[in-house]
Amino acid sequence: MSLISINPATGQRIHIYGSHSSVQIEAALKQAHTAFLGWRELSPASRVKHLRALARSLRRQRDDLADLITAEVGKPIIQSRAEIEKCAKVCDYYAKHGADFLADEHPTGAPKQARVVYEPLGTVLAVMPWNFPFWQLFRAAAPSLMAGNTLILKHSANVSGCALAIEQVFHDAGLPTGVMQTLLIPSKEVEALIKDPRIAAVTLTGSTEAGRKVAAQAGAALKPCVLELGGSDPYLVLEDADLDQAAEICAAARLVNTGQSCVSAKRFIVHQKVRTEFQKKLVKQIAAYRVGDPTDERTQIGPMARHDLRDELHAQVTKSIRRGAKLLLGGKPLPGPGWFYAPTVLTRVKAGMPAYDDEMFGPVAAIIGVRSDEEAVRVANDTPFGLGAAIFTRDRRRARELAPLIDAGMVFINASVRSDSTLPFGGVKQSGFGRELGVWGIRAFVNVKTVWSA
């Protein structure tokens, strides 16, 4: 089977990649297991040196790697460079703190002769999406490798160039052969990998539907998994919010990576007293964003990554308008080559519209009016997703009281939702389970073992 990489800014083919054969897959699994037997025996200090070398390799190649992201995904080049730097930083973070996270512990109240140790599991299969092709791999890889595991990457077909480049980064950094490998395979071959006894665990970032399949397959094989899935993040704008600040942050949160992020702002739940004023400010902010060639450093919004994604988004917008939403800005594909979509704002959004019910994966903001804090929380939770959320108010105590009421893995106050190497990242409900990053990420794929010495 061929895997095709297409430049979404032009619609032109970049490269056709052949998928790996069954013989190559078997060789990769064997090599990953052999590498694990040696990698797990390295001292934490030795693995730290490798992670630091990996960070240096990323920074040394930053511009070339960013160019590749922009070519395959259409991400504005400034954001692509920032993605590579973020990958380097997560390697630095686990190099600095990973050994402490893995140190033996004596739990409070436990018998004196007992301790808890953290040991690697084996080879982790990473099934990754296209929208942050480097970051989503590295936020799983850095802690997993520091813990002593090895890694096999199955990436999205449209970023096969990035997938191979990631493997090359590890090679250039001097990590042992087999510690991290890329397999170019179609999604239908993932199940066989999960069943293979040499795969110890699975981590997936992707759609809720993909998560259901992988969770079922991992469960059948009795293997742990971490799932970071879809999101329809609510941003609550209360009547006492600083509306200029809120509109600026909300626009940026909606449009990062052309709105193609699980944790980008999706639904703006605004108190009716300030809805009209807020939406004027939000439209002004979004209309000012520069759409165009993603290789241009002045561009803030690039194309959508695939034509089918643009078609699906436009169908969601059109259906929402037919069902009563009011269009304030955009609402259509842009003419010319590539898969550009006009930055869009919808208001008067209600239940029964795709803009309310579904994840909108693109540059479309949905404004929903509410009349109280209680209604704002109800609407925020009226979704199958539970990844991130934000609250805008001048009353921080009020926000801290509302935050526990929102079904989400992360709640930010007067700020946009984001991942940070030091903090747990993940969601609830149909947004998945398990946590990445921080101490939680490194302990996701270890054997938490009790050792009792009589």
Question: Hey, which residues are catalytic here?
Answer: 228, 262
- Tokens representing residue 312 in the block: 């699906």
Question: Which residues lie across from 410 on neighbouring strands?
Answer: 388
Alpha-carbon gap, residue 372 to 359, rounded angstroms: 24
Alpha-carbon gap, residue 177 to 32, rounded angstroms: 8
Strand ranges, E, within 350-445: 364-370, 388-392, 410-413, 432-433
- Tokens representing residue 357 in the block: 């019910």
Q: What are phi and psi of 173, to 5 degrees?
A: -80, -10
- HSE-up (13 A, CA, CB side) for residue 105: 13
Burial class (CB in 10 A: 0-12, 13-18, 19+), 382: middle
Residue 40 amino acid letter: R
Q: What are phi and psi of 357, to 5 degrees?
A: -85, -30
Alpha-carbon gap, residue 386 to 408, rounded angstroms: 4
Contact 158, 308 (CB under 8 A): no
